[in-house]
């Protein structure tokens, strides 16, 4: 279920795994497709593959959220990249990029929010908001 490389500070969680507790790791967390987290994820960097579900909060420095992922909230220090058709309630980071088809309640950024394609977003709060239309 877990593979830890302490020299490179990487925690790999295999595909279709279920993590029933809060996860705290000093390094990078990489989760495979369709992984379910019932608690919070606290790490330096979080990379979630397609179709993951996070019942708690994601607290990190950087986050890349795969397509079709469901989450409650993301609080990051640097940037968050949310891929296609993700569903979540709250995102807060320095820079946020959201791909098309996502549904998010509140997005707060210290610097910029980039929305690439049509997404359903509730409240946006940032210094700079850029919306583009994806041709793909």
pLDDT for 2: 86
Q: Which residues contact 92 (CB under 8 A, 6 or more apart)?
A: 73, 74, 75, 76, 107, 108, 109
pLDDT for 136: 57
Q: Is the pLDDT of residue 33 over 90?
A: yes
pLDDT for 135: 64
pLDDT band at 133 (very low <50, low <70, confident <90, very high): confident
CA 133 to mean position of chain CA atoms: 22
Per-residue pLDDT tens digits for 77-103 = 999 999 999 999 999 999 999 999 999
């Amino acid at each position: 279920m877990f593979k830890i490389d302490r020299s490179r500070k990487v925690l790999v969680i295999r595909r279709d795994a279920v993590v029933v507790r809060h996860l705290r790791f000093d390094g990078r967390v990489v989760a495979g497709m369709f992984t379910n987290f019932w608690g919070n994820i606290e790490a330096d960097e979080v990379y979630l593959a397609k179709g993951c579900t996070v019942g708690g909060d994601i607290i990190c420095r950087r986050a890349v959220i795969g397509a079709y992922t469901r989450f409650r909230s993301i609080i990051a220090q640097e940037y968050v990249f949310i891929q296609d058709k993700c569903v979540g309630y709250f995102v807060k980071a320095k820079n946020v990029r959201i791909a098309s088809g996502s549904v998010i309640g509140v997005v707060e950024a210290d610097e910029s929010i980039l929305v690439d394609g049509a997404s359903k977003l509730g409240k946006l709060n940032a210094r700079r908001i850029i919306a583009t239309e994806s041709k793909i």
